[in-house]
Structure 1
């Protein structure tokens, strides 16, 4: 697929991080970008960056809450009414969460699944008729946490595992009607995604009860991993490539580290290699 100025891509979660960088990257590649976010009051950084690069005419901001089905349907209808077509969808919107089930409870798990899994399903479902018409693509930002289950990320990893399973199952079916499907798996990315968690670490540790020592070890390890994180632009580059390459792979990692990390799981038939690895994060 060769991008032209007429081709249109809808990207969710573009107020910061990978989504913002992907929106700029797609605009540079010649796409008309429908940059969606739950709070359009946070569009300033994207719009300023687009203006500075001379891309303002290619970036259109729209409000979209992926957990609001009526809003999803209305947004897709507006895109088609205004642009006449949709050539690609990038599912990027998501929310992180730290905790373990005994302390966090089911409501937190359900909320995490709603954004990270059901939101992806809802937007993909709404986009598919239009992508069939254009012979388009779906690129979904998942995570290495969609391959390797990680301590104190039970709900987040469960949601990302679900997204990976959904997309892996959808891909051969979508291909029969001319729609390509790719998942993009970042590792640690230096973005507001983690900052937006707003963690009160002392309170979190105080509430962790018998899990406090393991949580402290995990948080220490995580701070170290994010000190060597990819930039959002580096992580977004494979997302843009998935839109423009003629035959993109189904599964793409955003760094050499992510390749090696996910490779540990994909070659781990009995699960022992992953358990040996992640146990070291909590002690």
Structure 2
């Protein structure tokens, strides 16, 4: 088959779903993966409405055997793999005193080690294709955010890993990029399973700070969030452009927000901003 093949993780909703449809519209043979194929209804409906075909497959990024089976299956069926989009991830809310180390390990398992599992399995094939390795991170991979310590730590780790990998991968013909969304109107926040009143009641000495943070965050998602399609467009840019940038923000807001950190040599600008999020 002449069409280039891309495998995208976490396509049941949000950015992953929109990116899968947009990649297919751009002419890519798109293998849209998700942990539970029973949740593929919205994905299949969106593909049908867009008039594109997706190859929907099971892949759990935390299960190395599942990852290997998915990648091997793509090679068996298409003979090639030209790009991977690491999109699967899980949100998390918590702070040091009020969560276990096991909770933090679980966040790292999905958001960091899951990316590594998929990337490692795909890399030999991406080398053969001189392909692309694209990872959806977050503005939270650049700026640490209150009550998101574990999530931001995982995204920081992904950004550091990919930034370090990029020149090594380039030496064998593979282009590495990270895509940094800000607030996106997706199921991602809902999937945290957040009960605001219960969280605040259980926060102990951090209750006032958590309330202030949640009020600010809910307002941001209600009033300033991108649509999944808007956030997915730069993913397709990373797939299709000649020589895409390593770091790609999905909006002007995300560019300005991450720029605060990249110009902040002593950390005062970032902490001056985030202190205000918790009412200080």
How far apart are the structure 2 equivalents of 1:250 and 1:76? 24
How far apart are the structure 1 equivalents of 2:2 and 2:199? 48
Contact 1:189 1:226 in 2 (8 A): yes
Question: 2:158 maps to what in 1?
Answer: 163
Q: Give the alignment partner of residue 138 of structure 1, picking from 126, 130, 133.
A: 133
How far apart are the structure 1 equivalents of 2:2 and 2:218? 41
Q: Give the alignment partner of residue 54 of structure 1, picking from 51, 55, 59.
A: 51
Question: 2:9 maps to what in 1?
Answer: 12
| Displacement after TM superposition at 1:202 (Å) | 1.5
Contact 1:87 1:134 in 2 (8 A): yes
Q: Give the alignment partner of residue 121 of structure 1, picking from 116, 141, 150.
A: 116
Q: Give the alignment partner of residue 107 of structure 2, picking from 105, 112, 115.
A: 112
DSSP-derived class of the 1:199 partner: coil
Q: Give the alignment partner of residue 269 of structure 2, picking from 270, 273, 283.
A: 273
Question: 1:263 maps to what in 2?
Answer: 259
Contact 1:90 1:139 in 2 (8 A): yes
Q: Tell me the TM-score normalized by structure 1.
A: 0.97
| Displacement after TM superposition at 1:46 (Å) | 1.0
- Structure 1 residue runs of 5 or longer lacking an equivalent are none
| Displacement after TM superposition at 1:49 (Å) | 1.3
Q: Give the alignment partner of residue 23 of structure 2, picking from 19, 23, 26.
A: 26
| Displacement after TM superposition at 1:5 (Å) | 5.9
How far apart are the structure 2 equivalents of 1:274 and 1:245? 32
How far apart are the structure 1 equivalents of 2:46 and 2:205? 46
- Structure 2 residue runs of 5 or longer lacking an equivalent are none
Answering whether residue 37 of structure 2 is matched by residue 40 of structure 1, we say yes
1:113-139, Cα deviation, whole Å (9 max, x unpaired): 000000001100000000000010011
How far apart are the structure 1 equivalents of 2:92 and 2:220? 17
